[in-house]
Structure 1
Amino acid sequence: MLILVGICIAVLVLPLNFGGAAVSAPAIGTALGGSPVAVNWILNAFMLSFGSSLMASGALADLFGRKRVLAIGVVLFALTSLGIAAAPTLLWVDFLRALQGIAAALVLAGASAALAQEFDGRGRARAFSMLGTTFGLGLALGPLLAGFLTETFGWRSFFLVDAAIGLTGFALGVPKLTESYDPAAMGLDWPGAASFTAALTLFTFALLQGPESGWSSPLIIGLFSCAVGTFIAFVWIEKRASRPMLDLSLFRYPRFVGVQLLPLATAFCYVTLLLVLPTRFIGIEGHSAIDAGLMMVSLSAPMLFVPLTAAFLTRWMSAGAISAVGLVIAAVGMLWFSGLAPDAPSDTLTLPLFIIGAGAGLPWGLMDGLSVSVVPKERAGMATGIFSTTRVAGEGMTLAIAGAILAVLTRLKLSDALAALPPVSRDAAAEAAQRVATGDLPHAVALLPALGQPILAQAYDGAFHILLHILVALTLASALGVLLFLGRTPSTASPTDTGSAVLGGKGVAD
């Protein structure tokens, strides 16, 4: 039991950092300065390196040992947190956040694969359930903790506490963990890892740089072209590798595709809001970091109990049906939230945010258990690597796309106001729109002083509402896809059964 508690505490730093960094980002940008793109990289550098490293981390866990990879990841995460707390410039923060994402990938891959080896049957299901609850706890507490620490002691204190929590988990759980390997592991697929990372990096950088450089500029067209080319190279490499990092043949199974669709769906209806809303609350509406953290609790608190409810409901409903219902509920909550005025009292936001979080919590509670069933137990590192890569890479891409949409729509919303002014440089207007999209109203006002803060804030609000409607449409489309892929076979599994039982008694690798 101490092993499980220690691992959960060590893993807790990931969701704490995930939501907490979003609350701290405006303070970091104000304190250290930097362009809107550089401020965006506080979140995106972590998400990008996290997502692109997960499959490689899973392979490394199988090859070199799950305990060893977990230990290295926790120590590296703590060291990078300490480095961020001491960073003198925003460039250093972005660099260390990228390194921290790699550490997070090692932690998650090592911990998930280690738990799969350490526990069997019902014990394994309970262990993964506790791991999921830990993520829910971290998501619920991260914004609140970051808001309190940032407002009281400064943004650097959050990363110091993050490091302390990770090292505590390391001391409690890692020494007692039994080392395990995949006896059939043949080494890391370096060409596949390099091409996948390159494709993801190029695509994300193009999305972030597009609003500033212009979507038709040679730089952006070149970045997107190179991203497509390297992704095609990745697929070609994986098809010919003797032991690929990603077994593409698994995508022939509808249930496997359905499992990978779940994290994308929750990225649309939950994760994007978890990271974008603090910018709105702090940067646009002027709330303090503590108040923003308190408002974010309404969104994240359902993750403490709704995932367990989802596991219990599998007695009577299929995983796909439960997940689809949850996504529809989340979409309803987003529609409600989109109708609220930006100056609405804080307490009126509580219920729609809670509904969004509760709806997203239903598929969230089933995803990890389902993912374990897609490959044999011996390939647990690869199984968690594939699923976690889909989750984190999808979340990172969704966040980058949402930021680009906000910047473009804000610029469009400002077009009428800009037309009534003397000629304004295109670069100044584009940068101002990006500043507004990242919640940096003072710099935006300095770039366009003739417009003033109310007009800029109104442009953001209009862009934000359109973004919410786009996310609602994507969430509903995802609900339909999940129902088609995972909703046909009712599950007779108990809440303590494994993910393959939830899939209808047969994993795709069987």
Structure 2
Amino acid sequence: MTTESPALPCSEIPSSPPSASVRRSPAAIVAAVCLAALVLPLSFSGGALATPAIGAYFNGSPLALNWITNAFMLTFGSCLMAAGTLADRYGRKRIFICGIAGFTLLTLLIALAPGLIALNVLRAVQGLAAAAALAGGSAALAQEFEGHARTRVFSLMGTVFGIGLAFGPLSSGVLIDRFGWRAVFCVPLLFGLASLLLGLRYLRETVNPQASRVDWGGILSFTAMLALLTTGLLEAPARGWSAPVTLALLAAALLSLSLFIAIERRIAEPMLDLRLFRFPAFVGVQLLPVATCFCFVVLLVLLPIRFIGIEGRSPMAAGVLMIALSAPILVMPAVAVWLSGRLPAGLISGVGLLVAGVGLLWLGQVEVGASAAAILPPMLLTGIGAGLPWGLMDGLSVSVVPREQAGMASGIFSTIRVAGEGVSLALVSAALSYLIAASLPPAALHLQTASGMAPAAQGLAIGDMSNALSQGWSALQLQQVYQGAFRSLSEGLALLTIASALAVFWFLRGGTVARS
């Protein structure tokens, strides 16, 4: 999720004279930003793994529990480009420090949250802080290093992010098992505090005097579109896809998108230059983060819920199993970079998506409660496939457009990646609830009404079997229903991933454009 800011060092000026309190230490600067990058996947995977425990503790509704992850991803994705613009205009260090300080404080408040509503609101504000930390930190690194050194530090940043993805579920599982769900937020708190202290001491302030003005119209309309779309997708399982509220939310999201496009076409300095979509390769690159959302990111949330809520495994056991999916992110990006010296990047990325699609099809066939020997191979294959485009798409995002548009292309790519994660999670959660509701048999103890069916299906989708059990279904029936729904969902995700692979082959068949 980290991208390089390609702004030229000669266009940058310090916002204040060098101070004795700010020391030039490249290692400390890299450590400050990399620690911030580490807490983001830890917060994401920790919140996902803790969802069943949080639901049991607060007795929360399925909709409220879905917002534990979606609230964070929604604000994070919608504000990332805006945070980058603010960092260029008002100072990279200032935005980074505000972001990581806010993130750290909010992490503490989340650990102390008295209720589910408060927790979700704090998660949403935490997403804003995460956007500031990531955008400010990436821009600060880009100004501290040049050439090959810049490439190496951003590669290290990506590796650190992979470490967070790989071992976040395991560390979260251990903490939940031993200390409860609140302990999950203590590890990001410690790393965030260390990042803050290093950043205050060693980062220098820089601004871009040629930074464009803030496109508030674009920011507000884009954020409104994401918020309305995500809310509509999450409300649909409970209210129905044809319910007036659902249709109104989705229609409002479409209207906000139309408004956003109109603003970006007319404004002199848009947040998103729509002309970039004239480049077929640019369109192909934007498909890569969307595809990895559906073949990898959503599984980081779905599988812990299945392991803990449906299969009854402990959080620590679920975290151990999740290593098979996430550990390849540590290795495969380096393999992809090595292969890119011999094969086209588009070919490598497309093949990786095909492999991930096969892994998803295999994963859907594994029965609920199957042994680790049955579930680990398809998870590993899916992670290996997703890891190939993961290692190339950040570089591709700025290599397929003219050099003078590389900065905006990088911001667009990052926004599509993070916003896509939030939307894909909402869409997949809604689809799983719908598939479960369509398969639930009549309750054995009493007639089941349509209004009662939706809460049972939603609860089962987030791993809460208690509601459905209380309405007359047996645990075996519910596991069988979940298995069928999960199989259908996996097949749908596999088809999306394979279709994305074919589209990537097509759009990236010509390689990169000539750089000016």
- Which TM class, normalised by the smaller chain length? over 0.9
Partner of residue 212, structure 1: 238
Matches within 5 A, 1:374-385: 382-385=408-411
Partners of 1:148 and 1:48 in 2: CA distance: 28
Q: Distance in 2 between matches of 1:422 and 1:17?
A: 42
After superposition, the C-alpha distances for 1:417-466 in whole angstroms (9 at most, x for unaligned) are 218775322111111110101110012212x1x22222122111111110
Match of residue 508 from structure 2: 486
- Give the deviation of 1:11 after TM superposition: 1.2
**1:482 positional shift:** 1.2
Structure-2 residue corresponding to 1:70: 96
Question: One-letter code of the match for 1:26?
Answer: P
Mapped pair 1:179 → 2:201: no
Shift of 1:374: 6.1
Match of 1:427 among 451, 455, 459: 451
2:207 alignment partner, SS class: coil
Match of 1:331 among 329, 332, 357: 357
Closer, same or farther: CA 135–39 of 1 in aligned 2, 3 Å: same
Deviations 1:339-391 (A, max 9, x none): 21112111322221111111101110112222344678887764443111100
> What corresponds to 1:498 in structure 2?
none
Q: Which residue of 2 aligns with 1:165?
A: 191
1:207, CA displacement in angstroms?
0.5
Query: Does structure 2 conserve the Cα–Cα contact (< 8 Å) formed by 1:9 and 1:168?
Result: yes
Deviation at 1:2, TM superposition (A): 2.5
In structure 2, the CA distance between the partners of 1:218 and 1:62, relative to structure 1 (3 Å rule), is same
CA distance in 1, matches of 2:404, 2:143: 8
For 1:248 and 1:111, how far apart are their aligned partners in 2?
26
Q: Is it true that 1:367 corresponds to 2:389 in the alignment?
A: no
Summarize the Cα distance change of 1:374–1:115 in structure 2 as closer, same or farther, 3 Å threshold.
Answer: farther
Give the AA of the match of 2:225.
A
**Counterpart residue identity of residue 371, structure 1:** S
Post-superposition shift, 1:172?
Answer: 2.7
Asked if structure 2 preserves the Cα contact closer than 8 Å seen for 1:62 and 1:181, the reply is yes
Q: Secondary structure at the match of 1:340?
A: coil
Distance change (3 Å), C-alpha of 1:394 and 1:260: same
| 1:472 equivalent in alignment to 2:498 | no
Kindly provide the CA deviation profile for residues 312-349 of structure 1, in whole angstroms up to 9, marking residues without a partner as x.
11111111111011111111111221221112111322
Quick one: which amino acid aligns to residue 479 of structure 2?
A
- Cα distance in 2 for residues equivalent to 1:464 and 1:211: 16
Partner-residue secondary structure (3-state), 2:202: coil
Q: Does 1:97 align with 2:123?
A: yes
Using the TM superposition, name which of 374-383 and 140-149 deviates more.
Answer: 374-383
Distance 2:468 2:138 in 1: 44
The alpha-carbon deviation at position 173 of structure 1 amounts to 4.2
Partner of 1:499: none
Q: Distance in 1 between matches of 2:449 and 2:189?
A: 44
Per-residue deviation, 1:5: 2.3
Q: Name which of 76, 89, 106 aligns with 1:80.
A: 106
Q: CA deviation at 1:180?
A: 2.6
Instruction: Verify the 8 A CA contact 2:307 2:313 in the aligned structure 1.
Output: yes
Match of 1:459 in 2: 481
Residue 437 of structure 1, aligned match among 461, 464, 468 = 461
1:418 is paired with a residue whose SS is coil
Which amino acid letter does the alignment assign opposite residue 492 of structure 2? I
Confirm or deny: 8 A CA contact 2:273 2:408 kept in the other structure.
no
TM-score w.r.t. length of structure 2: 0.92
Query: Could you tell me whether the CA contact under 8 Å between 2:76 and 2:130 is conserved in 1?
Result: yes
Q: How does 1:347-366 map to 2 (within 5 A)?
A: 347-366=373-392
The question of 1:123 aligning with 2:149 is answered yes
Q: What percentage of aligned pairs have identical amino acids?
A: 51
Q: If the length of structure 1 is used for normalisation, what is the TM-score?
A: 0.93
Aligned equivalents of 1:99, 1:378: Cα separation in 2: 33
Q: 2: distance between equivalents of 1:377 and 1:250?
A: 12
Displacement of 1:115 in angstroms is 2.1
3-state SS, counterpart of residue 206 of structure 2: coil
Give unpaired runs (5+ residues) of structure 1.
Answer: 490-502
Equivalent position of 1:343 in the other structure: 369
Counterpart of 1:496 in structure 2 is none
The correspondence for 2:46, drawn from 17, 20, 31, is 20
Out of 316, 324, 340, the position equivalent to 1:298 is 324
- Structure 1 stretch displaced more, 345-354 or 402-411: 345-354
Of 300-309 and 363-372, deviating more is 363-372
Residue in 1 that maps onto 2:442: 418
Q: Write out per-residue CA displacement over residues 54-80 of structure 1, whole angstroms, 9 at most, x where no aligned residue.
A: 111111112112221111111111011
Letter paired with 1:43: T
Q: Secondary structure at the match of 1:440?
A: coil
Q: Distance in 2 between matches of 1:376 and 1:71?
A: 32
Aligned mate of 1:288, from 308, 314, 319? 314
> 1 CA distance for matches of 2:97 and 2:290?
29
1:248 maps onto 2:270 in alignment? no
* In 2: Cα distance, 1:164 partner to 1:376 partner: 41
Name stretches of at least 5 consecutive residues in structure 2 with no aligned partner: 1-26
**TM-aligned CA distance change 1:16 to 1:380, over 3 Å:** farther
